[in-house]
Amino acid sequence: MSTMCVKRAFKYRFYPTDAQAVELSRTFGCVRKVYNMALAARTEAWARQERVNYNQTSAMLTAWKKTEELAFLNDVSSVPLQQCLRHLQTAFTNFFGKRAKYPRFKSRKKSRRSAEYTTSGFRFRDGKLTLAKMTEPLDIVWSRPLPQGATPSTVTVSQDAAGRWFVSMLCDDPGVKPLPAADTAIGVDVGLDHLLTLSTGEKVANLRHERRDRARLAKAQRELSRKARGSNNRAKARRKVARVHARIVDRRRDHLHKLTTRLVRENQTLVIEDLTVRTMVRNRSLARAISDAAWAEFRSLLEYKAAWYGREVIAVDRFFPSSRLCSQCGALQDKMPLHVRTWTCDSCGTTHDRDVNAAKNLLAAGLAVTVCGAGVRPQRSTPGGQSATKQKPSQREP
């Protein structure tokens, strides 16, 4: 069986020394400063109907370093500074290609703290990673091994809002093998009562990770609201809130990874509905529950794993009436309010579970499109490429 070499990021937690933490924090600040200055320069040029590219911003960076006001940029590695200019160029390319909005300035408090190093900015030997401007290797917790003989092409160091440090290594992974072809296909209907309902009748429970920690989160947020702005106590309270959020996100992502891996391994074809979560969360009474279910992340994980392992994901058009269509005789019901969870077909008398019936209809529509090529939208090429859709949730979130 043939193998394919894919670019794969391996993320690990590490514990920097005090000197390393200071150096990285300084690097994060310089990266944000250079990015914002380059964005301002390109915005001013755009107002003059001029275009500035990466090479020009790189020359600007060289000039900035020679000024007395910005001489501190020489204290950190130049590699992350050049990389942030490349990221800005990519952002403008996506903007001009109408794939993204206009680039925004990085906020000191809200923006992600990260820096990317290419091969000239780090040394990886004998399982030890040493970054530029540092004398000691990072104390990394190797929770899983890198691929045999793999050497990172880029290394991204980041710190989350909870104060945890992470390093992500991008490597070529030749060990990704397409799974043996299977003759199984499955329809997947997402919801709130149950996270997933499969066309086989199986229902996957919605663990509601955010609701399980809602009391703890509310307490931490109340404590934060009482602290004086700008004080050290407020910073500590903010990190406490961030740790609760991090706990929720970690558990949710772990569950979705296990779930999507199982579905991809067991099925050759997976049919889902082309939902647009961005539009659906405008429903204020359901936004919290929809965000907690993380339907968009589920789809993203499912699609890239299917591409890795030779599976197919089909997204059925958002206007397909999966809930109102009888999977037994094909009769279409006029109305199907959200509170109706079971219903009986007027034509054939079959009693349906609403979600199971929808999953069966999705499967039938997905299999039909492989033959006739109609009624299904293609997979997304970018994370933001979803389209507007009907509302899917099945209950109100308390």
- Let me know the angle formed at the C-alpha of 317 by 314 and 320, rounded to the nearest 5 degrees: 120
Considering 116, 173, 274, 355, which one is annotated as catalytic?
A: 355
d(CA 152, CA 168): 9
Q: Are strands 113-118 and 154-159 parallel, antiparallel or unpaired?
A: antiparallel
- Let me know the angle formed at the C-alpha of 304 by 367 and 12, rounded to the nearest 5 degrees: 155
d(CA 86, CA 322): 44
Q: Of 171, 205, 210, 211, give the one whose Cα is nearest residue 190.
A: 205
d(CA 14, CA 163): 11
Q: Is 213 labeled as catalytic in the residue annotation?
A: no
Considering 273, 274, 292, 303, which one is annotated as catalytic?
A: 273
Please say whether the dihedral angle defined by the alpha carbons of residues 281, 287, 293 and 294, taken in this order, is positive or negative: positive
Considering 23, 173, 189, 274, which one is annotated as catalytic?
A: 189
Question: What are the two backbone dihedrals, phi and then psi, of residue 126, each rounded to the nearest 5 degrees?
Answer: 55, 35
Q: What is the DSSP string of 27-38?
A: HHHHHHHHHHHH
d(CA 77, CA 90): 21
For 103, residues 6+ apart whose C-beta sits below 8 A from its C-beta are: 39, 88, 91, 92, 95
Q: Is 189 labeled as catalytic in the residue annotation?
A: yes
Q: Of 13, 23, 35, 20, give the one whose Cα is nearest residue 108.
A: 35
**In the 8-state DSSP scheme, what is residue 148?**
T
For 288, residues 6+ apart whose C-beta sits below 8 A from its C-beta are: 210, 397
Q: Is 273 labeled as catalytic in the residue annotation?
A: yes
Which residues form the catalytic set? Answer: 189, 273, 355
